[in-house]
Amino acid sequence: MLERLPLIIIKDLSYTYPDGTQALKKINISIRRGESIAIMGKNGAGKTTLIRTLNGLIRPTRGNIYIAKKNINSSSIATLSKNIGIIFQNPYHQLFANSVEEEISFSLKSLNLSKDTIQRKTNEVLKNFDLEKYRERSPLNLSGGESKKLAIASIVCRDPGILIFDEPTLGQDAKEIEFFINLINNERKKSKTIIIITHNIEFTFKYIPRTILMADGKIIADGPTKKVLNSEFLVEKASLILPQTHQFCLALRQIGIQDIRDDISENDIINYLKKFLKEKSISIKEEE
């Protein structure tokens, strides 16, 4: 259940890299506990730079970030990582242990748990993420999909209140994407705040309620996903493509079918077409 007061407040945030590149320009965002948000835009829009400011990997040039009313600009990465878990696009940027089991147990050690509790939780995580068969294997010898799953498991096992995913569906097959969808649905039930950087517009349109569009270091749109991603102007400005359902609606209008909504679902489109074709069939038979 969403809380009324924001959990995260980003106020007038700007960041300039040492070479002079201004990656973020006066970013203002409020995020409530339990929200699920997608951040979208072309490469270089500032998405990854933005999320790196949330756990202290990058310190803002100007502006402030408040989490649970506390200004985090002077908080250490270790302190922030207890409540903020970031899973990067490339899992090998965060996997370093000699075995899959060690990767999970090392992550749990930061919680100051007993040795028996760490082992029990490690076994639970390996089972829940279907990684038991790789227990003794080096993370470097996993497939791309399994290594990404391990990277997610190594963060989720610490139970942070804020989960940030950078391109979680990139390079994943249908089974792996389904696993991720089930994962975020389970985390939502725990009132976790979920932020996802993605180019996958169909995934966002179907599963994420709120979308923020970025371009050239600025926020150009922030609102309900179906409203934002159905805007041809905004989607084009963010260098994205319209959802397939919207493209289909446009195609239907081009052939004379005007009474169809932009926010129609895939199932509604199928039912609409069945009804339309049935009516056309009856009309043709009557003319004959």
- What pLDDT is attached to residue 253? 64
Q: Which residue numbers in the chain have pLDDT < 50?
A: none
- What pLDDT is attached to residue 187? 96
- What pLDDT is attached to residue 282? 56
| pTM summary value | 0.86
Query: Where are the CATH 3.40.50.300 domain residues in the chain?
Result: 1-75+195-239
- What pLDDT is attached to residue 230? 87
Q: How many Å apart are CA 6 and CA 82, to the nearest integer?
A: 19
CATH of range 1-75+195-239; options 3.90.380.10, 3.30.450.40, 1.25.10.10, 3.40.50.300: 3.40.50.300
What's the pLDDT tens digit per position in 183-214? 999 999 999 999 999 999 989 999 999 999 99
Residue 94, judged by CB atoms within 10 A of its CB (0-12, 13-18, 19+), counts as middle
